[in-house]
Structure 1
Amino acid sequence: MSMEFLWGARAQPTRGPKPSLTLLQITDAAITIADGEGLAAVSMQRVSAELGFTKMSLYRYLPGKGELVALMVERAIGAPPPPNPGDWRAALREWAHGLLTAYLRHPWALEATVGPRPLGPHELGWMECALTALADTGLSGGERLDAIAVLAGHVRMIAQQAAAMRDPDAQFSAGVVAVLAEHGDRFPLLAETMAAVAAEGGQDQAFEFGLDRILDGLQTLITSRRKALR
């Protein structure tokens, strides 16, 4: 797939009549469709119809759906937060929260960012931002990349759960409680734990809990690396 559309090498068609559309208009129309109906609903035909143009007219601007989805991802996730080199932990926390916000706003982006695909400056910028936070921690290159992978995986998992919970049939906790009401004697520890959670009001804290544990683990590793370098 061509990547020129992601990097601004050609923002308008170079042949034919004067452009009536922009890549931004096309991308925003596709995002509106995906936000409302999911990524599968996005097609060159559908987007062109929403804009009042023919399908073939869109091919003057970009080669196909693959490039369109890549542009959608770039627009949806946006630019990463500014670097905070003074506090790697705070920087990674802000990074994780920013990425989660983007996925919650555009759940289809989870599907769109899996597997080989064209990568744009925003998506690579998020990686650069996290690596900047870890630059002076003493971790090896592989460890820094693995740390980003673990953080991104945690963000994606929480975002996927949040997207599923928008469906009333996917209310996992409610389903567990309903089953335990009749079969709690078979799962006494689960029943006890669910009752404790209900009493403590400790639900929906998985993102912060997991993020803190990941950062705690990195803190331990970074501390040991710095001690070894003294």
Structure 2
Amino acid sequence: MSVEFLWHERPKPARGPKPTLTLDQIADAAIAIADAEGLAAVSMQRVAADLGYTKMSLYRYLPGKAEMVAAMLERGIGDPPDLSQRPWREALTEWAQTLLGRYFGHAWALEASTGTRAIGPVELSWLESALKVLPEGLTGGERMDAIATIAGHVRAIAGQKGGEQMMTEAMTLVLREHADRFPAIAAAVADPGTPDQAFTFGLERILDGLEVLLGRRV
């Protein structure tokens, strides 16, 4: 898989027909398909047809579907928020909230951002922005692990969108007759507190842990 097309603008051909499409136009067409029908529905042929071009014409702009998905991810997730001049906890909270919102906006992005793939400058800018706001006191590996943990929490919550409420409803229904077999679950379901707080609760505990670790090293 080539990644150069994400990092360098392709030179205009000296001969032959001039390009009539842009990589952003191709990515936007692919995103529209994925938003409506899922990532599996995206193909070079389908995107070309939606744009009014032939499949072969798209190969003038990118090598293949894998690269097109990488371009979709760069375009769909977009730039990270400006975290400058913010306390580190506040900055990382905004970082995580913004990333979650982007995943909610493009459910296919979870699948697109796993496995071996091309990584572009936009995706790396998210990591760069988060690492910059972490305070001193962590090794390089720990800093990377801290952001990976936060990102993993974001992805876990994004992957559960809509499912958590359905799971609670299903358990409530079952527990009407079987609460005596699962007393701990029954007690937890009966006392939910503020619902739908898994994202905030988990993120705050991760940041609490980092704060404790940093405090020990002062």
Where do 4+ consecutive residues of structure 1 move more than 4 Å?
11-15
Q: Per-residue deviation at 1:86?
A: 4.7
1:223 and 1:211 map into 2 onto residues whose CA distance is 18
Give the match's secondary structure for 2:200: helix
Q: Which residue of 2 aligns with 1:188?
A: 183
2:163 and 2:43 map into 1 onto residues whose CA distance is 23
AA aligned to 1:139 is: L
The 5-angstrom pairing of residues 1-230 of structure 1 reads 1-10=1-10, 16-134=16-134, 136-162=135-161, 164=163, 171-197=166-192, 200=193, 202-225=194-217, 227=218
Give the match's secondary structure for 2:7: coil
Q: Is the 8 A contact 2:12 2:18 kept in 1?
A: no
1:177 and 1:13 map into 2 onto residues whose CA distance is 64
Q: Is the 8 A contact 1:12 1:22 kept in 2?
A: no
For the aligned residue pairs, the C-alpha RMSD in angstroms reads 1.7
Q: Deviations over 1:178-211 (max 9, x none)?
A: 11112112112211211111xx4x2210000000
AA aligned to 2:212 is: T
| TM score, norm. by length of structure 1 | 0.89
Identity %: 60
Structure 1 unaligned segments of length 5 or more: list them: none
Q: Structure 1 residues 187-196 or 84-93, which shifts more? A: 84-93
2:57 and 2:34 map into 1 onto residues whose CA distance is 21
Q: Per-residue deviation at 1:27?
A: 0.5
1:145 and 1:55 map into 2 onto residues whose CA distance is 40
AA aligned to 2:211 is: Q
Structure 2 unaligned segments of length 5 or more: list them: none
Q: Per-residue deviation at 1:21?
A: 1.5
Q: Is the 8 A contact 2:79 2:125 kept in 1?
A: yes
1:18 and 1:142 map into 2 onto residues whose CA distance is 47
AA aligned to 2:187 is: E
Q: Is the 8 A contact 1:80 1:129 kept in 2?
A: yes
Q: Per-residue deviation at 1:11?
A: 6.8
Change (3 A) 1:36 1:12: farther
Q: Per-residue deviation at 1:156?
A: 0.2
2:138 and 2:85 map into 1 onto residues whose CA distance is 15
Aligned residues: 218
Give the match's secondary structure for 2:81: coil
1:5 and 1:163 map into 2 onto residues whose CA distance is 36
